[in-house]
Amino acid sequence: MCYDALIVVALWLVTLFIAVAIAGHAVVGPTMQSILFIELFAFFAGFWVLRGQTVGMLAWHLQVVTVDGSPFTLRHALWRFIGALLAFATLGLGYLWKFIDPGGRTWPDLMSKTEVIYQAKTVS
């Protein structure tokens, strides 16, 4: 998550720099917050749907897959994102749920009917 957070912060800084350059002054308010929130969702949803993993997950050989083996869709991404927001909003309880759940799944996993698996390192 830390790797992905660094990339998102960099993306946000570029967006804010462009917004300030266009406006000529500090840009605040619900419109800018909405743009940054949409960028956050687009970052995670894009990587999950297109690759099954974010840059941070790639570094740790992790991949998100659906429980039933179906393709990972934007709907899965939306529910996973909502689950992640709830997991963070409860001070990480949704991620600590992994230690309570018999399948070791977190709230984002449970809400999106997905799971994170370890990909063995392949040698080429």
Asked if 95 contacts 87 with a C-beta cutoff of 8 angstroms, the reply is yes
pLDDT in tens, 64-106: 999 999 999 999 999 999 999 999 999 999 999 999 999 999 9
At 77, list the tokens. 């991404």
Asked if 62 contacts 116 with a C-beta cutoff of 8 angstroms, the reply is yes
45 contact partners, CB below 8 Å, separation of at least 6: 74, 77, 78, 81
Query: pTM for the full model?
Result: 0.91
In this predicted structure, the answer to whether residue 122 has a pLDDT above a threshold of 80 is no
The DSSP output letter for 25 is: S
Confidence of residue 120 (pLDDT cuts 50, 70, 90): confident
At 104, list the tokens. 């070791």
Tell me the sheet residues that pair with 114: 66
Asked if 67 contacts 114 with a C-beta cutoff of 8 angstroms, the reply is yes
Average pLDDT, rounded, for the chain: 95
Q: What integer is the mean pLDDT of 51-70?
A: 96
Q: Where are the domains of the chain?
A: 2-118
